[in-house]
Amino acid sequence: MGKVKFSIIMPVYNVERYIREAIESIINQTYGYFQLILVDDKSPDNCPLICDEYAEYDNRITVIHKQENQGLGMARNTGLTFVDGEYILFVDSDDTIEPNTLENILAFLEVDTDILVFGMKRVYYDKNGKVKHTDVFKNTEKCSGSLKSNGKLFLDLSETKLFPYACNKVYRRLFLEENGAAFERTKLIEDFLFNIDLFSKAGKIKVISDCLYNYRKPAHETLVNTYTPEFYDLAKRKFSLEKDFLKITGNNDYDSRQTVICSHIKHIISVFLRNRSEKADMTVKEQKNFISDVLCDETTIAALEEFEPKDIVFKIVAHILKQKKVNLCYVMVVFASLIKGR
């Protein structure tokens, strides 16, 4: 095998149904000089055996069997200690990449590129494994620079929803090592936390329009059937970091602030929807009390005070939130949950 250009880290946990497709999307790349690191996060199914099976006949594959399950971020950190490649990618074990992904990336990489961002598809599958629909996230134009030299980068990446994920990016290994990059052990926003630190430090970020990553998502999974108790605290932390990020990178202009505030308002609504999940096990009174607490939170009040939505629906929603109309807000959430197909 020639010089390794790419190291691809794939955490593995309880994805026996999808892992072969994920691995084969990598080993069948048109560009073959890569290292695939499979991190078995103490998976309870046959994934460990499947990983070993592939490693037996492909010497580009390294398998690491962890002794305890620690989650996605920690598994990625384990993988980072084994990388040999000049550039690093993260691929989830139930997703796939396009056959020409590495070849396309190589064509756009430059010596001083710290992070390269590419497009992705969110593919929704039904319970029988059939594709229901696909959402495409990509920048229509190629661009590059640092966030300090090109403020439009942050807006573009935020509006196209390409910023938070780790799976649609290539990171220069030395850049990660120089900055002590590591994933935090948390839920939901580990990718965001990883990126917001690195993007503020990157000398050169390159964005290409090619859609190279296929993100698998169950069509039946909606906000009203998912629940994470700490979601609101995570949303507040994310909002605070984003505001600091704008100041650090010199992007604290009106449009950028409105983009960040709009994202936080959406997260607030998302919290209310998640509380209607059966897993939340919250009574109507408890849901209303939660809504009241959030609307009286100083972070929410400050965000709504500055928020100037252009969309008429968002204007109405913002007004309801700003006026702390708890009962009306609850009715709005119930209506939204019915539309989303609870």
Q: How far is CA 27 from the centre of its chain?
A: 24
CA angle 98, 216, 14 (to 5 degrees): 110
* 270 found inside a domain: yes
Shared domain for 40 and 178, answered yes or no, is: yes
Shared domain for 313 and 175, answered yes or no, is: no
Shared domain for 105 and 247, answered yes or no, is: no
Shared domain for 309 and 335, answered yes or no, is: yes
Q: What is the pLDDT of residue 301?
A: 97
Domain end position, chosen among 164, 196, 218: 218
* 184 found inside a domain: yes
* 238 found inside a domain: yes
Domain ranges, residue 66: 6-218
In three-state form (DSSP H/G/I as H, E/B as E, the rest C), the secondary structure along 55-115 is HHHCCCEEEEECCCCCCHHHHHHHHHCCCCCCEEEECCCCCEECCCHHHHHHHHCCCCCCE
Shared domain for 211 and 250, answered yes or no, is: no
Domain end position, chosen among 177, 199, 218: 218
Q: What is the pLDDT of residue 177?
A: 97
Token pair in block for residue 134: 């696909």
- Distance (Å, rounded) from C-alpha 301 to C-alpha 322? 7
φ, ψ of residue 86 to 5 degrees: the values are -75, -30
- Distance (Å, rounded) from C-alpha 28 to C-alpha 22? 10
Distances from the Cα of 317 to the Cαs of 183, 284, 333, in angstroms? Answer: 35, 20, 10
Q: What is the pLDDT of residue 223?
A: 46
Q: What pTM did the predictor assign?
A: 0.91
pLDDT in tens, 223-266: 445 677 899 999 999 999 999 999 988 888 999 999 999 999 99
* 1 found inside a domain: no
**With a cut of 50, which residues of the chain have pLDDT below it?**
223-224, 342
Shared domain for 99 and 169, answered yes or no, is: yes
Shared domain for 246 and 210, answered yes or no, is: no
Domain end position, chosen among 185, 218, 251: 218
Shared domain for 173 and 33, answered yes or no, is: yes
Domains in the chain, number: 2
Shared domain for 207 and 282, answered yes or no, is: no
Q: CATH number, domain at 22?
A: 3.90.550.10
Shared domain for 42 and 188, answered yes or no, is: yes
Q: What is the pLDDT of residue 342?
A: 46
Instruction: Kindly give the pairing relationship between strand 61-65 and strand 34-40.
Output: parallel
* 101 found inside a domain: yes
Shared domain for 322 and 202, answered yes or no, is: no
Shared domain for 213 and 237, answered yes or no, is: no
Q: What is the pLDDT of residue 72?
A: 94
Q: What is the pLDDT of residue 325?
A: 93
